[in-house]
Amino acid sequence: MLELIKQDFDGSVVELIESAEGSAGKLVNLLAHHFDAFRDESRFDGKQVRILKRAQIFVADLWAAFGGEGYGDFDDIDDITMFAGKSTRARLQHSLTKRRLSSTTNAPHTRLPYLQPTA
């Protein structure tokens, strides 16, 4: 990780943060793009799903540590509130069930499969 920071951001985490230009979403995407450890993804219903929980937590912690000022000043911090926990799984289950019920009149209850990390 340190090598990537040296290579892509002149050895400075500050440069990484500043390259996001005050956007929490952009910082999440930069982290996921440059660092494999922040690129948590899964497959759901045959599609690749970007969860990016680790990157979102990093940005949220940065925001909290600086009180939303300085390095923690993000114009769109409210856009990264989707942490993949039990409540997210319940929302996905509800959404999937509603979608399948609307496509067939006698659809059985559908259980959401556990999301499996991809390599």
Amino acid at 8: D
CA distance linking residue 1 with residue 76, whole number of Å: 26
Q: What is the DSSP letter of 119?
A: -
Residues 6+ apart with CB under 8 A from 28: 52, 55, 56, 59, 80
Residue extents of the structural domains in the chain? 2-117
Q: pLDDT tens, 34-82?
A: 999 999 888 888 998 888 989 999 999 999 999 999 999 999 998 886 5
- Read off the tokens for 62: 């940065």
Q: What's the pLDDT at 97?
A: 65
